[in-house]
Amino acid sequence: MDYESYTLENGIRIIHLQTKSAVGHCGLIINAGSRDEEEHEHGMAHFIEHTIFKGTKKRKAYHILSRLDDVGGEINAYTTKEETTIHTSFLKNDYERAMELISDITFNSTFPGKEITREKEVIIEEINSYKDDPAELIFDEFEELIFKNQPLGKNILGNPKDLRRFTKKDIEAFIERNYHTDEMVLCSVGDISFIKFKKLANKYFGQIISNPRNKKRIGIGSYIPETKIVEKNTFQTHCVIGNISYNSYDDKKVTMTLLDNMLGGPGLNSRLSLLLREKHGLAYHVESNYSPYSDIGVFSVYFGTDKENFEKCIKLIKKEFEALRTKKLGEVQLKKAKRQLFGQIAINSENNASLMLAMGKSYMLFDKVDDLQKIKDKIEAVTVDDIQNVANEVLNIDKMSMLIYQ
C-alpha cells in the first residue's frame, strides 16, 4: 500500500493514499470515546459528536450541514468506546472544502445553548429507539455485565438523566481533557497528491495548539463470569454468551479474528450458522463478534430463537466450542478459513470510504498500515495449534458470561 504520512508540529498525524477516483474521502479520528468519560459524564463523547454540528464561530448548524451537501458530498460522525470519528465523502475537487469543514467543527464549535437543549431531546429519542431493538441493545448490556462498574462497560449513548445535566462548560472540559493533538489522525483516500494534501493539512490543522496526552486511560479491573436473565417480554429469546479476549496489540489477535470468522462471521457457511440455522432450523440469525480494545478484548456469540428452542441452541453452541478446544482443525479446513477471511478483507478494501477509516485507525494504533500482502502473510502464519490454543483460552465455558432476554 503506497500511503504517505507525516506528523504536524502540534502532533496531529496525517496519512494519505492517492487513488484514481472521482470521489475523495477524508476523516479525522480522535482517540477519545465513551470509556474516557468520568462518572458524571455518561454519554458525553457521543453528545459532543452530535453537538459539534450545531454551530461554530463562523457557521450556524444549517451552514455546516449544507457545506458539503450543496456540492453532492456528505459529512457524518460516529462514536465508539475508544474513538470519535468525523468523516466525509466528496468530489475530488472539493478536498479543501471538506478539510476546512472538519477542522472548523472540531476546533471551533461554540455549542449554542438552544442547540444543545434541542439535541438532548434528539439523543433521548435515539436512546428510546435503541431500547426498542433488543437485538442491538443486548450487546451493550453484555459489555456492561462483563465490565461492571467500569468505564469500558458503559453504553455509548448515555442516559436521559445525565444528558439533561450537560452544559457547555461540561462539553469544553471533556474536550480539553481528551482531545489530544498527538492522539488524532487525519486520514485520506482520493485523487490528490500528498504534497497538496499535506499543504491543506498544515493550513487547516497545523495551527491548532499542541495538547499532548499526559495520562493513561483507566485500566480494566478483574473479570468475574456471570449469567444474567432479563425479562423483556419479547417474541424471541435473545442471548449473548462470551468471554474477555485479546487486546489490539496482542500477537494472538489475528488467530482470534480467524477463529471468530470461522465460528460466526458474515459468511453464510460459518460453523454456527450451518449448525443452528441450516442443520437444525433453530435460529434465523446467529453471529459471533470479536472486539479488540487497547487493553482488552471481548468475544461473544449472539442468537435469537424461540423460547422453546433456547436450551437446545445453548447446548449446540457449547458443543461447538468444546469441539474446537479438543479437536484440531484439519489443514484443509484451516486453509479454507484463511482464504475466506483474506477474501473478505480484500473485497472490503475496494471500498475507499471503509479503507480510509481502517487505514486511519491502524495508523492511530500502530503508526503503520499493513498492505494486503502483509495481512495475508499474518493470516497464513496461523497454525492449527494456534487455533486450538486460543480456543482453549477463550472458548472455555467456565469462563464465559451470558446475558439472556426472555
**Quick one: the chain helix, strand, coil %, rounded to 5?**
50, 20, 30
Written as nine digits, the cell of 46 is: 457521543
- Global pTM reads 0.95
What integer is the mean pLDDT of 364-384? 97
Does the 227-405 domain belong in CATH 3.30.830.10? Answer: yes
Written as nine digits, the cell of 343 is: 477474501
Written as nine digits, the cell of 130 is: 435503541
Supply angle C-alpha 124, 302, 309, rounded to 5.
Answer: 115
Give the pLDDT of residue 318. Answer: 97
Separation CA 231–CA 69 (nearest Å): 44
Give the pLDDT of residue 1. Answer: 67
**Pairing, β 283-292 against β 297-305:** antiparallel
The backbone region for 323, taken as left when phi is positive above 0, alpha when psi lies in -120 to 50, beta otherwise, is: alpha
pLDDT in tens, 5-18: 999 999 999 999 99
Sheet holding 283-292, edge to edge: 227-230, 401-405, 237-245, 297-305, 283-292
Written as nine digits, the cell of 268 is: 453464510
For residue 333, pLDDT beyond 90: yes
Cβ neighbours for 112, distance < 8 A, ≥ 6 positions apart: 54, 55
Separation CA 203–CA 54 (nearest Å): 23
Angle between helices 134-146 and 113-131 (to 10 degrees): 100
What integer is the mean pLDDT of 254-262? 98
pLDDT in tens, 157-190: 999 999 999 999 999 999 999 999 999 999 999 9
Distance in angstroms between the alpha carbons of the first and the last residue of the chain = 48
Separation CA 280–CA 264 (nearest Å): 16
Separation CA 139–CA 145 (nearest Å): 10
Q: Which CATH superfamily is 4-205 part of?
A: Metalloenzyme, LuxS/M16 peptidase-like (3.30.830.10)
In the chain, domain spans: 4-205, 227-405
CATH topology match: 4-205 vs 227-405: yes
pLDDT in tens, 76-96: 999 999 999 999 999 999 999
What integer is the mean pLDDT of 48-53? 97
What integer is the mean pLDDT of 218-246? 94
Averaged pLDDT of the chain: 96
Higher pLDDT, 214 or 386: 386
pLDDT in tens, 264-319: 999 999 999 999 999 999 999 999 999 999 999 999 999 999 999 999 999 999 99
Separation CA 155–CA 177 (nearest Å): 20
For residue 339, pLDDT beyond 90: yes
**Pairing, β 84-91 against β 74-79:** antiparallel
Written as nine digits, the cell of 233 is: 417480554
Gyration radius (Cα) of the chain, Å: 22
